[in-house]
Amino acid sequence: MTAAIKPDPTLPEPVQPNPVQPPSGKNRPKNIFAPEFVRPAVRAAFTKLDPRSVAKNPVMFVVELGAFLTLYIAVANAVTGKSWGYELAVGLLLLLTNVFANFAEGLAEARGKAQAASLRAAREGTMARLVDGSQVSSSALKKGDRVVVETGEFIPGDGEIVEGIATVDESAITGESAPVIREAGTDHSGVTGGTKVLSDRIVVEITSGAGESFLDRMIALVEGASRQKTPNEIALSILLSALTLVFVFVVATLPSLSNFVGAKVSITTLVALLVCLIPTTIGGLLPAIGIAGMDRALQANVIAKSGKAVEVAGDIDILLLDKTGTITIGDRQATRFLPLPSVTEAELARAAMLSSLADPTPEGKSIVVLAKSLGIDVQAPEDAEFIEFTAQTRMSGIDFQQPGAGGVSIRKGASSRIATLAAERGGSVPAELQGRVDEVARSGATPLTVIQDSRVLGVVALSDIIKPGIRERFEQLRRMGLRTVMITGDNPLTAAAIAAEAGVDGFMAEATPEDKLRMIRDEQAAGKLVAMMGDGTNDAPALAQADVGLAMNSGTQAAKEAGNMVDLDSDPTKLLEVVEIGKQLLITRGALTTFSIANDVAKYFAILPALFVAAFPALGVLNIMHLSSQSSAILSAVIFNALIIPALIPLALRGVKYTPGSADSLLARNLLIYGLGGLALPFLGIKIIDLLLTVLHLA
């Protein structure tokens, strides 16, 4: 394999729309318990006590019903002169359990709403100037409207640039201060409402109506208003509901059993037992875990259109990447002139420069820059006629009259088309040309052949520059068990060279949109979960078909609409963060479920002996924690059951740290830390609470 592609040092640094780098610090989360998060979370903790809201979570709904029942008993006992302190304590503790669960969910939502507030500020108060000169509010724009945006003005809505090129400040969306280039007719033509034009003038065609913009959807998503439960979350909710129902039936049979053996058990004690038996810990934290998963994606500058997309990302098997604009910078740069033996480099450079003086493409501009770096500086004759590139001719060039030499016709284009043109003009193709073309292709560059009249002069190498740091990121994906495949329309030689330099596991050359779609479907039919990354309109079908479609924010509106995630940084290796977030979400949910079920064991040893030890003194051997009394044992278990929820909020919101490894090693680690820890911690916690209650004479 040939050496890696390197840009000519004489060329100016190519424009890179978005550099490969870690997510911006601007979107890094603040302290979980920052005052701006805690205040709304405290309000939500009490407003969410509305039974209509709690009913969405069956586990916590049972806890709230138990709280209301025991509080009613406490009030009834107080009215009739009976003892009511124990009942009141249990009722308040159960209500506090609900408050803590609501607080966890409210805290997760508050973090998202804080992000939404800054996003909302980016879209408010923007005026739009239509192409006819009239001005309207951005909220009045309709799909298809064309607006003019000039230096210093904000783009009023999502759209595609249909005319011009501009430097755009997208920091309000991405958090990155470095401006980016957006240009009509390229895969970097998509713009987002609320971003600011720093230079030049563009005409934007609006692609979304009021309330349908990218920012509107972002705001709804990060606020949690559009969050739907994922399949795994629904399955776990069903399991928790089933366990709750089973324990309801179990506890419902205890009065008959206790009466039969002569052990009187109060309704308050039965309610406390039920609440300690059902998995309240994971039931209270489950909504917060799901919301926090999407929030962590946003912190990585990725907008997930659903929680399912984040979750599925944790199980991805194969990643397909479009080459241009994703793996490479996207704008090919002229890096070398390769003249044929009978031609000088200066002669080839002069002809290539003349044919590119009116070429508006990045490739044409770079040819002019490269020629000037060699000391070539020519001006087009006044009577010159420039020939634009078309898909049919696959050539561009210039025709002009040269004094004393007659008409001159220069063309540059695909080597096969230039060979045909040479034959049409009565010339021939030197045998050395194919060697030059193959040399350029093997290096991963694109060969562009130049002909003057009927004489072939040589080849210009257009190098597609690999984004820096990408090879190392692909290696990390490989360690996580993902296979990476580059998809490109380039010929196999060029594709192989770029694939080798980028470090992907495989490639598909000369691929059409249909080929991309077919490959994704074939992998899915084989039972694989597929992620697709792309930025162009031709990537849209594949992005829509993939299990995870990650569109580049720098790409077209069609790509962003088709994907179920949008990377605001347009970082081709951002899936590394997305996969880690998905795995972290799954691991966190599994770890806290394991902990929740395991810590119920200690509660059994606290409450069950307390219920029946009077009737069956032999059960005293089960009181391995040596709890001081029946009421102390029950209150200690209920207090621990309530306090463990806020204690686990940081873990639920930040997530369990993911370290690459096999499924067996992750399971063993999960069981050791959260299974064994969930078993041991409650014994210690309940015993400490019992000692405090005894010392304070509260039980």
Among positive and negative, which fits the CA dihedral 431, 434, 440, 442? Answer: negative
Residue with tokens 């944790």: 314
User: 427: which residues sit within 8 A by CB, 6+ positions away?
Assistant: 451, 453, 454, 455, 456
Query: What residue type is assigned to position 675 of the chain?
Result: G
Residue pair 560/551 in contact by the 8 Å Cβ criterion? yes
Residue pair 286/648 in contact by the 8 Å Cβ criterion? no
E strand or H helix that includes residue 17: none
Q: Name the CA radius of gyration of the chain, rounded.
A: 34
Residue pair 376/353 in contact by the 8 Å Cβ criterion? yes
Residue pair 56/224 in contact by the 8 Å Cβ criterion? no
Among positive and negative, which fits the CA dihedral 570, 573, 576, 579? Answer: positive
The rounded distance, in Å, linking the Cα atoms of 375 and 388 is 26
Residue pair 94/639 in contact by the 8 Å Cβ criterion? no
Measure the N-to-C terminal CA separation of the chain; round to a whole number of Å: 79
Q: Count of CB atoms within 10 A of residue 647's CB? A: 13
Please state the separation of Cα 3 from the chain's center in Å.
34
Q: Which two tokens stand for residue 374?
A: 């060699």
The rounded distance, in Å, linking the Cα atoms of 612 and 262 is 9
Residue pair 542/534 in contact by the 8 Å Cβ criterion? yes
Residue 322 annotated among the catalytic residues of the structure: yes
The rounded distance, in Å, linking the Cα atoms of 420 and 32 is 67
DSSP 8-state class, residue 57 = S
**In this structure, what are the phi and psi dihedrals at residue 184, rounded to the nearest 5 degrees?**
-65, 145
Partners of 164 in the beta sheet?
none
Angle between helices 575-612 and 267-277 (to 10 degrees): 150
**In this structure, what are the phi and psi dihedrals at residue 559, rounded to the nearest 5 degrees?**
-65, -45
Residue pair 506/288 in contact by the 8 Å Cβ criterion? no
The rounded distance, in Å, linking the Cα atoms of 138 and 155 is 9
Q: Find the catalytic residue in 169, 295, 322, 567.
A: 322
Angle between helices 470-479 and 492-502 (to 10 degrees): 80
**In this structure, what are the phi and psi dihedrals at residue 393, rounded to the nearest 5 degrees?**
-85, -30
Please state the length of the chain. 699
Q: Which residues are catalytic?
A: 322
